[in-house]
Each structure stands twice: as C-alpha cells, then as structure tokens.
Structure 1
Amino acid sequence: MIHALSVASEAYPLVKTGGLADVVGALPDALAPHGVATTTLLPGYPKVLAHVGDADVVQHWPSLLGIEARLLAGTLGDHPLLVLDAPALFAREGGPYGDAQGRDWDDNWRRFAAFSKAAAEVAAGSVGERRFDLLHAHDWQAGLAPAYLRFAGGAQGVRSVATIHNMAFQGSFDAGVFPALELPPHAWGIEGVEYYGAVGLLKAGLWAADAITTVSPTYAQEIRRPEFGMGLEGLIASRGSQVTGILNGIDPAVWNPATDPLLAARYSANSLDARRANTRAVEARFGLTGDGPIFTVVSRLTWQKGMDVLAGLLDELVAMGGRLAMLGSGDAGLEQAFRDAAARHPGRIGVEIGYDEPLSHLLQGGADAILIPSRFEPCGLTQLYGLAYGCVPVVARTGGLADTVIDANLAALDAGVATGVQFDGVNPDALRNAIARAVALYRDAARWRQMQRRGMAADFSWGNSGARYAALYRELLG
C-alpha cells in the first residue's frame, strides 16, 4: 500500500473556486482501488474547520514561519483529512485567496509558504505514527512543499509530485519575503525559489518535484511553448520526460443525468426525450422564449476563457436562431457586456452573474450546447459534464478540450464518433463559424442526437486517471 499526502488549497465539497477542488476531492476515491491510501491536507478556512468540528489535535507548532498553528485530524468522505489550523492565516471572511472585493490577501506568500512547510514536515513523518511515501502538491499554493522537502535532504526518501492545474497562476512574490521562508541561503537561485528576481512558489515546486504532471496530455506539450508556458517553458522543457499529462476525470456519483437530484427530470442516452423537462426549466429560469438551440456558458468571465470574443458575437448568435443561458462572474466589463446583450434580446439571452452549483447541473441537463472558447484550457471539466449530459460542447482546440471532444467533421459524423464542435484560433471569425456549425447540426435532429449519445457513452470517470496516477507513484517509488 502506498501512502500519499495530497496537499491543496481547496477540495470539493468543503471549499471550491474552480476545477482544482473537484480534482483534489475526487483523487482519494480514484486512487484507492489501485493500492494508494490518500490523506488530504487543507488550510483551516472557516468552512473547513466547521466540517472537522471538535477534531483531534495531532501536531502543534509554536512558530510556523512565525505563526502559531495546530494540525487537526478529520475525514473527507471515507478518507483521512488533515487541516492546518492557523487562525492568523486562514480565519478570515472572504475567499480562500482574497477578500470579499476580490483583492488578494497581502500575506498570501506567508499563508501558503507556512502551509507548504507544514505539509513537508507532515510528509516527512513529524506527526505520530503517520508515515507517507509521497507528497502530491497541487498548484502554486502547495508549490513550496516539494522545495521544503528537497532542501531538507529529500526527507528520508519521501518522493514528490507537482501538478499544474493552470500555469497562469504562479504565486510570484517580492524577493524581500525570501528570508522569512526559513529556507537555506542557497535556495535563492535558479535551482531553488528564485524566479526572474522574485520568489516563485509554483516555479520552486516544478524545480524540486521528482515528477510534474498537468491535467491533460495536450497541455503538457503546450506549456513547453512561450505562449502557454508563461515564462516557465524553459524549466518545463528541461524536465523532459518527467513532465506528463494525466487527464482529469469526473465523478459519476455527482455528475450523472440518470441519478442527478438537481435536475428537473433524470434521463439517459436511451431516454433523451425526458431531457426536455430540463430544457423547459432552463427556459423558465432564464426567461427564454421561442425556439432554436439553447447555448449555455458556465464559466469565469475572463480573457483566458475567451469571453471577450463571445461577448462581441452575441447579437449574431441570436440572429442565427440561437439562444443563450449564461451563468458566471469575473471581469466587471464582461459581466456588463452580457447584461447589456440580455437587455437587447429579452427572451433570447438570459444572464445570471455568480456561481450556483445546482444551476450548473440544470444547465448541463437542459441546454443544447455549451460554449467553451478558451484561449488555453489545461483540462476543463465543463466540457466533460456536457458530454455526460448530452449538452454538446463547442470548444477551442486547445489543452484538454482538444483531448476530450471529437470534432463533427464529415468523416467523424459518417463514422458516428463525433461528440462536439472544435475550432482553431479564438477570434470572431472562428467562433462565429463554430456557432453556425452547431446551429446547422442542431437542425439535423438525427445527427444531433447521435452526437449526444456518443458523448454520453464516453468514459471520463476517474478510473483510468486514478490508475495512471498510481502507476506514476509506483514508478517514482521504485
């Protein structure tokens, strides 16, 4: 049995801002059938502390980077959970990384450096009888954990994996914080935490870890190029075959239209007519009238997601006969652009600003197609949910979107393997043509239904991904 410590800043269902939480929450179950026992370590945010309640204290730090902290033991589902209870760092209103106005906490460097240092010590066996073979660090918030292990001399054989969920978020901080990290002086350098004259938390993890993974095979190749590597492409290239892509999965216990309690009506690939009740529910929720395919967007409204390009095409989407139900939040200008479009096209465009987990399920179960025009997408989960729910993805050909959606070209349609629409280049012409293709395919009811059924038949559960992570762990441990 391999004992792994999974270190992350969020995990579903306790705390979630994006796909990272879904992955971290699903990994323990995905790895268990393959002989891996996973303990998850999370920061002690208020909601996490409320979950563990009156938990056992298994470790105490009088000064963890100058902050008093305790380690609490609980459970996450059927698996062990450890929580770093450091009120000075994590007992705050707002989100995991910033205040209620979306401003990053000024001391995020200390918050997540302390979290990473605690993780390295726990992985190395500082807590009672707990012993770990491997530390798995997720994104920049846990990036220093492999570095702390490395500068502690490998911590008695504990190996480490760093997973990049999104290279755009790197955790870069002023060089002046370095002395407070309690790393040896020689850690300040290219072989360490230094990154273009700053402290780079993700960079430190990518340099120190024994293996690097990304969340799709295509993204693992893309980040070797400047347009996707965002300054770290040289480091990624230097790691060579130690960088691999393992596609994220989805949890069929949560995302399954045949059993989903959040839908107006449950259905399967063999009972797609029942899906119409969900479509009616979406129309009622968003005030949509008339006919034509309902496109949905469930996304952060950001440049990365290509929402600026989509916002400029909403009038044309309506002119083509389409409708739109949008759920998301992000850039204030983009939020207003979608609101303005809804005002121009009442009954054809409906917008809800924010995030609503039950509503996201209903949109996948009731909309006809989901638009994902991302400029880059490490994996993406919404297209996987769309495939599982018969909500046909219309996606840019990048990252995990390219790996999971089969374009409806003539050959794929004739072979009966198409599952969505892909397009190259996130620009108005390319996205306009993709929307037009989707509208035309929707009007061919037989082919549309064939695409829905093919997507619903695909297996994107965690079974294969869990096996690949377990194989990587075993390879590292020899």
Structure 2
Amino acid sequence: MRITFATAEFAPLVSVGGLAAASAGLVSALRANGVDIDVMIPDYGPDVFSAAAHDWVEIGDAIEVDVPQWAGPASIRRVDHRVAGLVHLVATPGLVRSHPYLQPDGDGWRDNSERFLRFSRAVAAWANAHRPDIVHLNDWHTAAAAAATDPDLAVVLSLHNAAFHGATTGEWCTQIGPRGNHYEWWGGTNPLTGGIALADAVVAVSPTHADEIRRPDGGFGLDELLRARGAAVSGIINGIDIEVWNPADDARIAAGFTADDLSGKDICRADVLTELGWPDDAMLAVAVSRLTPQKGLDLIVDIAHLLGDIGIRLVILGAGGRSEEQALCAAAEQHPHHLAVRIGYNETLAHRLFAAGDLLVMPSRFEPCGLAQLQAMRYGTVPVATAVGGLVDTVVDLDAHPRTGTGIVAASASAVDLVSALHRATRRLGDRRRLANVQRRIMRRDVSWAEPAQQYIEMYQRIAR
C-alpha cells in the first residue's frame, strides 16, 4: 500500500504543536507495518529548517510539479532525515518564512490561507501523477488538496483541531480545483469545509471528539456538515513515540525508572524540587502546555491561593498568549512557595517535569486528543483532567473505578471543579504507597502508535479504490 501523506508539521523537522508529533508518530508506525509513504510538507526555508538540515541528506535534484499559474511555480526536494526518514519538501510561492504561521510580533501571516492553498494544489498534482492508494490530508492546511485530487483516488482527512478552518475572504473556490465549489463559505473560501465534504473518510483524533464535533456546541460551525457525512466520520485515538518517551532510557532526566522499579522517579522528583527550592512536603503537580484559552490553565490564576490548602505545589511549562503568560507569572510571583511558571517550550524540561511529577494538571476546555496525558502516564504522572475529547478516552476516574482508574476526572473546566478534582487527587493519592500502585498501573498501559496504526491501515483498506 502506498500513501501520500500531507501535513504542515512533521517532527522533528518542523514542530509548532501536537500536529507535528502526531504526524511523525503515525507515519513511523505505518512504515514499521510495511506501508510505503510519501510525506509532503511545505518547504519553509532555511530559518525554519536550520537545525533539521544538519540531520538530513538531499536526494537527487528538485522535482518540478505541474500546477496552475496561480499556484506555481512548484518544486519538490527529497531529503532523508536521520530521524524522520524520507520527506518531500514542497516549494510554492510564499511558503518561505521565519515561522510557519506567525509573524515576529506573534500575529499570523496575513496570507496564510493563500500560502497553504498553493501548497495543497501542489500536493494534489503530486498525488495525481504518482497514483497512491490513499491521499492522507491533515487539518485545514492541506484539506484543499481534495478539490484537485483525481476522484478515483481515495482521500482521508484527519482533523487534529477543527477549531481552525483557514478560511479566507478571497474567492479561491474556482481556482483551487475542479471540485472547488465545496469550499465556498459565506462568500469566501474555507479549506476545511471542502475537505470534509470530499474526503472518503474524515478522522477525528479520538472517538469522543468525533462525537463532540458533530454537535452544535462542539462542531465549530462544522457540525451540520459532519453529521451529513454519517459513517464517513470516525475517531482514532493518537499514540506517542514510546522510544522518545521512555523513562527507562531517557538521557534528559536525573535517573531512569520502570514500572517495576520506581526509585529513579523519586530521584527525578527530588531533582526538580531542589531546582525550584521547594521542600518535599506536598504533592508535586506539573503542567506542560500551550498557554491558550483551550488549555484552561488560566484557571490556575483563580485558584493559586488555594494550592497550599489543597496540598500541592505546581510548576507550569508553556507559552502562548501574552496575557495568559503575564497573568500566570504574576500569580507565581504572589505565591512562590506553591506555583512556579517557566515560559517557553523546552524539550528537556518537559521530560524532567513528566518524570518528576506526582500529578499532571490538564483542565482543557476542549481537547481533540491530547498528548500530555499520554506522555505523563508513560512517566508515572497521574493526570487530573477534564472530561472532554480524547481525555475521556484515556483518563479513567480513580474514584469511580478504583481498580482500573488512570487519573482524576474534573466535571468541567471551572475553578470550582478543578479545585474539587485536585482535592480528590490528594486525598486518594497523598499516600505514597497508593500513589505508587497507580503509577505502576498507568506506566504499563500501551500508549504507543501500534494499535492506532492498525486502525488506520484497516480504514485505508476499506476505502482504497
């Protein structure tokens, strides 16, 4: 089976959010199952690829792609990356920037929609020329490729975050492909609506989120279209790369550990507490996240004064909106003995926090899948999470299911419910022996890509022409 797999992000070449890790993890697992995959990503240029270029070798000359004048000229470089394997870098006008999506001031590039429409047109041209069994598109950045992909090629569209449509006021529907009429959206063009309408299969990144996006209160304006697709819409939970996230052999953490021997986790915990200058007299909670309204960590500002009474100390690693960052930093300054905030994303620190934590705080308002809870469980850190999206599919409440539970579930993303969930966590897991039993349980869960990859392969086989 041969797949053309198009995505705006692919770890470790270009990584802005969870799309990069999800794309790379699935591709790696599919390749391990013998699937032949052409990975297509935008050629963002030397600023974005400065680090990755040290780990790749270019193969042959650039390949010219036959696209309409508005989308071109287009060419493709093939690189063999030490970690990612073979990747195709697609060059079309406007793609080369200092950041895939954002200007230096943090606002999005004004022509983002047009940039990715051109990229999508080149992806379709490649697929039409090379005739794969499946064209697998990811999020709005690539969804417009379905308009110009030959109808006899099967198309999959994965929705990693349906809140982002890539809609533009420009009238591109007549240009993006023969079936461009499906992309009309209130007088403009919406890449996601057309992709949903034309794909043979639409896949949300968790079963619960697949249900949520078909409801008016969770579909981001797409619920009616998604309901109309019926059985074509499904959900497959993401996995994580268990070689990258492996506490037994992780050079980034103070000591390795396994489910059978947790002594190294105690060392990791002490390492982080020492760095923060905190005593070992409370449960250590961590959060590794984008600081955006979706993630719900603004709730910590409201409850920071209660952390001591709850019996936890919390360290947050993340970046996002300036207002969210400033509010959390101000709360940490007011409550330095129970809250620490580190702005930015540091891969090493993320591993250290997951290795050190007793609890993960994840009060998301919506969560298509979520990776942090899977990474945390791999390192024996118990999630405290809201009952939304992929968190429903991966976090089982310990109070409701003492023998099989994997975390504590908050009823909603509210300050009251988060405080209640944290109190339940400290009451149930404050005893180190009981905590260790749950840690062993969650570390033994299979959070790899093995099962999700099999589900994707079965889906590919069902829809292939």
TM-score range, shorter chain: over 0.9
* CA distance in 1 between partners of 2:176 and 2:209 (Å): 33
Aligned residue runs from structure 1 range 48-447, under 5 A? 48=49, 50=53, 52=56, 54-61=58-65, 65-76=70-81, 77=83, 79-86=85-92, 88-93=93-98, 95-125=99-129, 130-149=130-149, 153-154=150-151, 157-178=152-173, 181-184=175-178, 187-188=180-181, 192-409=182-399, 412-413=401-402, 416-447=403-434
Supply the AA of the counterpart residue of 2:448: S
Aligned residues: 458
* CA distance in 2 between partners of 1:54 and 1:218 (Å): 41
Question: Are the aligned partners of 2:366 and 2:389 in contact in 1 as well (CA < 8 Å)?
Answer: yes
Residue of structure 2 equivalent to 1:44: 43
Measured against aligned partners, the alpha-carbon deviations of 1:32-91 in whole angstroms (never above 9, x if no partner) come to: 3434211210111224483555442342258652543321112244743111124x4222
Partner of residue 458 from structure 2, selected from 458, 466, 471: 471
Greater displacement, 387-396 / 308-317: 308-317
* CA distance in 2 between partners of 1:322 and 1:82 (Å): 47
Partner of residue 452 from structure 1, selected from 428, 432, 439: 439
Q: Does 1:13 align with 2:12?
A: yes
Give the secondary-structure state (helix, strand or coil) at the position aligned to 1:371: strand
Go from structure 1 to structure 2 and tell me whether the alpha carbon gap of 1:319 and 1:217 turns closer, same or farther (over 3 Å shift): same
Measured against aligned partners, the alpha-carbon deviations of 1:78-108 in whole angstroms (never above 9, x if no partner) come to: 743111124x422222x21111221111111
Supply the AA of the counterpart residue of 1:28: V
* CA distance in 2 between partners of 1:176 and 1:310 (Å): 43
* CA distance in 2 between partners of 1:23 and 1:272 (Å): 28
Measured against aligned partners, the alpha-carbon deviations of 1:161-209 in whole angstroms (never above 9, x if no partner) come to: 0000011111111033445x3434x733xxx101233210111111111
Question: Are the aligned partners of 2:11 and 2:84 in contact in 1 as well (CA < 8 Å)?
Answer: no
Question: Are the aligned partners of 2:319 and 2:345 in contact in 1 as well (CA < 8 Å)?
Answer: yes
Could you tell me the TM-score, scaled by structure 2's length? 0.94
Question: Are the aligned partners of 1:302 and 1:331 in contact in 2 as well (CA < 8 Å)?
Answer: yes
| Cα offset, 1:132, TM superposition | 1.4
Supply the AA of the counterpart residue of 1:116: S
Residue of structure 2 equivalent to 1:462: 449
Measured against aligned partners, the alpha-carbon deviations of 1:292-337 in whole angstroms (never above 9, x if no partner) come to: 0111111111111112223211111223221011101112222122
* CA distance in 2 between partners of 1:434 and 1:347 (Å): 21
* CA distance in 2 between partners of 1:64 and 1:254 (Å): 42
Go from structure 1 to structure 2 and tell me whether the alpha carbon gap of 1:451 and 1:64 turns closer, same or farther (over 3 Å shift): farther
Give the secondary-structure state (helix, strand or coil) at the position aligned to 2:73: strand
Go from structure 1 to structure 2 and tell me whether the alpha carbon gap of 1:257 and 1:195 turns closer, same or farther (over 3 Å shift): same
Give the secondary-structure state (helix, strand or coil) at the position aligned to 2:329: helix
Greater displacement, 352-361 / 38-47: 38-47
Identity of aligned residues (%): 35
Question: Are the aligned partners of 1:394 and 1:422 in contact in 2 as well (CA < 8 Å)?
Answer: yes
Question: Are the aligned partners of 2:91 and 2:119 in contact in 1 as well (CA < 8 Å)?
Answer: no
Long gaps (5+) in structure 1: none
* CA distance in 1 between partners of 2:236 and 2:183 (Å): 26
Question: Are the aligned partners of 1:288 and 1:350 in contact in 2 as well (CA < 8 Å)?
Answer: no
Give the secondary-structure state (helix, strand or coil) at the position aligned to 1:172: coil
Question: Are the aligned partners of 2:59 and 2:80 in contact in 1 as well (CA < 8 Å)?
Answer: no
Question: Are the aligned partners of 1:286 and 1:351 in contact in 2 as well (CA < 8 Å)?
Answer: no
| Cα offset, 1:365, TM superposition | 0.3
Greater displacement, 397-406 / 59-68: 59-68
4+ residue runs over 6 A deviation? none
* CA distance in 1 between partners of 2:3 and 2:128 (Å): 11
Give the secondary-structure state (helix, strand or coil) at the position aligned to 2:79: strand
* CA distance in 1 between partners of 2:275 and 2:160 (Å): 32
* CA distance in 1 between partners of 2:120 and 2:313 (Å): 46
| Cα offset, 1:290, TM superposition | 4.5
* CA distance in 1 between partners of 2:371 and 2:352 (Å): 16
Question: Are the aligned partners of 1:72 and 1:82 in contact in 2 as well (CA < 8 Å)?
Answer: yes
Question: Are the aligned partners of 1:65 and 1:182 in contact in 2 as well (CA < 8 Å)?
Answer: no
Question: Are the aligned partners of 1:39 and 1:79 in contact in 2 as well (CA < 8 Å)?
Answer: no
Question: Are the aligned partners of 1:28 and 1:79 in contact in 2 as well (CA < 8 Å)?
Answer: no
Go from structure 1 to structure 2 and tell me whether the alpha carbon gap of 1:385 and 1:182 turns closer, same or farther (over 3 Å shift): closer
* CA distance in 2 between partners of 1:33 and 1:92 (Å): 33
Question: Are the aligned partners of 1:251 and 1:461 in contact in 2 as well (CA < 8 Å)?
Answer: yes
Go from structure 1 to structure 2 and tell me whether the alpha carbon gap of 1:290 and 1:64 turns closer, same or farther (over 3 Å shift): farther
Go from structure 1 to structure 2 and tell me whether the alpha carbon gap of 1:382 and 1:350 turns closer, same or farther (over 3 Å shift): same
Supply the AA of the counterpart residue of 2:191: L
